[in-house]
Structure 1
């Protein structure tokens, strides 16, 4: 959808009159730094403020929903997918090495295609074309994903054919369907009768989010009883998301996983990876690697002033709202629990509105003749140890009302007193009033 496209009639759906929208200054606030929607003041329509790319926003979520806020109302916009992406392989040219002694029925992992679309528009099936020696099997992964495997249907004979050329095709369910292909070249080798075997089926490790870059997080180990090239094991990621591949590095020779960049618990608290050990003849074993991130208190609370008055009448009743605040801490647990307070003895108090929203309201009557301006400091502190804090200052001017009558000073007369032998004597001229 291009910028400015119609999304919904907010004024109609919420029963608002168009003058209300203009007079009250109602506006739309999206979560995050990018504002994807705006409110058209003349029509009350919710329209797109930026181009929306579903695959960029919701890479692996079936239902893609963007949330935005009015001051009082919350809006959810569901982004409907279209089939604008074809399945694709990370590598279009693949090479597999296979022993001529491999028994028919043996299976070998093939790379999975990726299609960022969802539902029927996502990846649906695979096809293999080439020659009679090979067929295709598709297994269901733990998350319901399809995992293609190359199946040896007929015994190989290196002297008859040293190479086999195959084409793997991935298709989605769109109308019309989109496809992606990868060419596979199978090189036939001499016998290799033992596959690598991992020492354990699953490796689990927990690390704090402030672990230094370059740290070794976990090491996997697989053994192969064969000798030479057939017994040489190399490690690679069998299944890993692009984001995780930029964070973790797997050494193909040692099986050691090291940290490439700083972790952030708030961006991801756990990573489930699948590692593969493959020997020189193409036989393999897989193991699961789970890396769990522990939170540390590295985020201070953030105070956002959603609306605020700059002037208030001194006769405003107690409980008058002068500001609406949103307070959020990206940490979790006690590190993300926030306490809010106002500095100093001011005639205002904080009132919890809804969840992470707070209202600053008047606590008692104001008197402009005593204090004409206030700088109200709102402070937010989290429950971490040590606690992290942030603050925001609200500037408020008190407007005058006619609450004082004039005072007549013309009747005041001069009075003189003096002490005479310890007695107080006075003279009044004119008579004292």
Structure 2
């Protein structure tokens, strides 16, 4: 039956109470200790004690606290077990105190108990009480003695001791000899007082002629209830007299032997001398006192007295051996010497690392000093050989802390970053203080769990792309790419478009981004003349909670294509003058017949809504009434005389000028100029009148020409007043550059000023002309053309004007 020992407070005063309180505090600070006492030979399943209750754990706490036995070795764990349901401690295997503790006076089994949530260590000690289950046993069940018949009564003869593995009152208590007329037995205490040995005492003189042999029975008994006994037979042979006994050179032999001494090595030689001669002087050596265990370890040569090692010594099991050697002569005389063999420790035990508790996964945002594992380190050697130093190998964010006795905790020492190291092999090295040192290692595999601590990172700081205008809707513009250093859902990146507007419309109506791939698509056909570039932001967002995001700037440049033909501003289209011609261009210019070669006659002004070389314009004369009379500037569009007009040249010259851009393929437009060669204004008016007559329908009354003349004069007067107002407005710089276009060319509003510049850098609209014009009733068409040209050429950057002199 198990007995649990508790500390009880006696009826002492306050001093005793204070001491008990201090003892309890210290007891809790060091560790909880529970002690039980049970008898040996208990069967499996026998109750040792209510361990959970004694540790202060209730039945409700047991499932969560996970009561677990732990020990330095598996040997201790095999004897006991803990019931997980009720927390009681039971015997797991039959207990044999003698097998467990040998001859030790006390016997106990100690082990640790781990309680989780939170982690605590408790020490449990179970004391094993001895029962009288072993009878005394003689190492030899027969003894042979030879006693000289001249031996005087009172002589003593050493007998072999009996052994009883039990302890206390159950151990060997005494010897008795069966009744006989010559011998008695006496028990003599050993010098150290630890054990008693029997001696055969001669009580009556022997007579060999009366009895040559004596058969005796020696009985050893213990103090158990009931007592157990063991017997040995003694055969005494009566021999002739021998008056010199052997004498050992030393009464006590002492030797120190390392535990790793080789089997068969001689550790000492016990020598004795006998003054007798012959058979009485021939000595034989034997062990007089030796335990059964030591008899397996040492061998004594009976002839030489050499003691050799016959088994492996182990300092950790037995550190000292005490023997007695006896030297016998040829007769009955002998001498005894004590032999003490001290086994010295060598560093033959490697430190042992036991992982008592460990985790294999840890979050990367775990706080510092978090316990990762609990280790127990033990070395069975002693002294410096048993002093163990533990370290963690490598530069890793963990360190060791010694918690209790031989326990170490592995805790976090630095912040963890899964993106740098996702898994650690924590190698703990234990080295003892021996020379050379022995060491062992334990490896803890620890996987770092990811948290969302990294925002997506784009592959480039900014993205740019070029897209040709007139693209197909849904065309791929570019692909942005962002990566997230996290793992799993935290690394899943989705893309979205930032808010914005382009020309008043939402940005999302122009482009879209694919959420999974980051591909940017154009949702509509883009027009360079409307939008030169798109500036937008793309946001990359991961799948963490909360989500992290980052933005990147994207610039999409629209590349111009040659999709706009040149547009001629001057001469004005015939439709603008009310002529009714569809798509052709016409104008009337005056060229005096006395003009020198190179004289400026007119200027063809054209623009192109495209950009770059698609807007670079060139002019060439495609058709002329007199091919060699006029030439056109390749880049300026100026029509000049190539030579002086001749009398044979027709008065009316028709010129067709082709305007081309430099696109591929090139686009073009044509302008038709009518040039009148005249010596005077009258001739000009006559020519104009004839042109008007030709244009008039047949049968029109002549009186209508007068009306047209009156209307022409009124128009010229209004035009003159309009010119004055325009000049005043220009001087006040209140006109905007957009007013450069004539009223009939509303389709060209908004075209940048740079498009009106030729390659040679001369602004097309800054050209002014000054002509002396004589008006007649037939000159209305020419006057209207002149009005349109002057209005188009005026801008806020010049003070030039068209001058008219009416005759």
TM-score of the superposed pair, with normalisation by structure 2:
0.50
Residues 1:286 and 2:336 are matched in the alignment:
yes
Map of 2:136 onto structure 1: 87
Q: What is the 5 A alignment of 1:103-252?
A: 103-141=152-190, 142-252=192-302
Q: Which has the higher helix share?
A: 2
| 1:50-69 pair list within 5 angstroms | 50-69=93-112
Q: 1:396 to 1:18 in 2, by over 3 A?
A: farther
Specify every segment of 5 or more residues in structure 1 that has no aligned partner in the other structure, as ranges: 418-427
Counterpart CA distance in 1 for 2:375 and 2:282 is 61
CA distance in 1, matches of 2:60, 2:370: 23
Is contact 1:108-1:283 (8 Å) kept?
no
User: Is this contact kept in 2: 1:94–1:183, CA < 8 A?
Assistant: yes
Alignment length (residue pairs): 421
Q: CA deviation at 1:101?
A: 0.8
In the alignment, which residue of structure 1 is the partner of 2:89? Answer: 46
Structure 1 residue 299, shift from structure 2 partner: 2.2
Asked whether the 8 Å contact 1:139–1:146 carries over to 2, the reply is yes
Contact 1:98-1:189 within 8 A present in 2 as well: yes
The aligned residue for residue 79 of structure 2 is 36
Q: For the residues of structure 2 that align with 1:104 and 1:270, how far apart are their CA atoms?
A: 38
Q: Point out the more displaced range, 222-231 or 108-117.
A: 222-231
Corresponding residue for residue 401 of structure 2: 351
The DSSP-based 3-state class of the residue aligned with 2:98 is helix
Question: How far apart are residue 405 of structure 1 and its match?
Answer: 7.7
Partner of residue 96, structure 1 = 145
Q: Give 1:289 shift.
A: 1.1
- Partner of residue 422, structure 1: none
Q: Which one scores higher on RCO, CA 8 angstroms, separation ≥ 6? A: 1
1:431 matched to 2:535? The reply is yes
Deviation at 1:269, TM superposition (A): 2.6
Q: 1:173 to 1:221 in 2, by over 3 A?
A: same
Question: How far apart, CA to CA, are the structure 1 residues paired with 2:419 and 2:65?
Answer: 30
Which residue of the partner structure matches residue 15 of structure 1? 56
Mark the CA change 1:31 to 1:379 in structure 2 (over 3 Å): closer, same or farther. Answer: closer
Offset from partner CA, 1:212-243 (integer Å, 9 cap, x none): 22111100111112233322221111222222
Distance 1:180 1:262, change over 3 A: closer
CA distance in 2, matches of 1:60, 1:266: 15
Report the secondary structure of 1:430's partner residue. strand
Q: Separation in 2 of the partners of 1:55 and 1:228? A: 47
Residues of 1 paired with 2:327 and 2:363: CA distance? 74
Normalising by structure 1, what TM-score? 0.91
SS at match of 1:156: coil
**Which whole-Å CA distance do the structure 1 matches of 2:243 and 2:336 have between them?**
17
Contact 2:143 2:159 (C-alpha < 8 Å) held by counterparts: no
Asked if residue 4 in structure 1 is aligned to residue 45 in structure 2, the reply is yes
Q: For residue 296 of structure 1, report the CA deviation from its aligned partner.
A: 2.5
Alignment of 1:321-332 (within 5 A): 321-332=371-382
Decide which structure has the larger Cα Rg and report it.
2
CA–CA distance in structure 1, aligned partners of residues 225 and 165 of structure 2: 16
Kept after mapping to 2: 8 A contact 1:351/1:358: yes
Q: How far did 1:333 drift?
A: 2.4
Give, in angstroms, the shift of residue 408 of structure 1: 10
* 8 A contact 1:272–1:291 mirrored in 2: yes
Alpha-carbon contact 1:101-1:193 (below 8 Å) kept = no
Shift of 1:344: 1.4
Q: CA deviation at 1:406?
A: 6.5
Task: Verify the 8 A CA contact 1:102 1:193 in the aligned structure 2.
Answer: no
- Give 1:381 deviation, angstroms: 1.5
Structure 2 residue matching 1:120: 3-state secondary structure? helix
Q: In structure 2, the residue corresponding to 1:180 is in which secondary structure?
A: strand
Report if aligned partners of 1:93, 1:182 keep a CA contact under 8 Å in 2: yes
Give the alignment partner of residue 70 of structure 1, picking from 103, 107, 113: 113
Q: Deviation string for 1:388-431 (max 9, x for gaps)?
A: 22111001122334x4487698xx973369xxxxxxxxxx9313
Does 1:266 find its partner at 2:316?
yes
Contact 1:99–1:281 (CA<8 Å) still a contact in 2?
yes
In the alignment, structure 2 segments of 5+ residues that lack a partner are 1-41, 115-120, 467-531, 537-552, 554-807
Are the equivalent residues in 2 in contact too, given 1:97–1:188 (CA < 8 A)?
yes
Alignment check: 8 A CA contact 2:67 2:87 kept: no
The separation in 2 between residues aligned to 1:136 and 1:413, in whole angstroms, is 111
Identify if the C-alpha distance between structure 1 residues 288 and 91 changes in structure 2 by more than 3 Å, giving closer, same or farther: closer
Alignment RMSD, CA only? Answer: 2.2
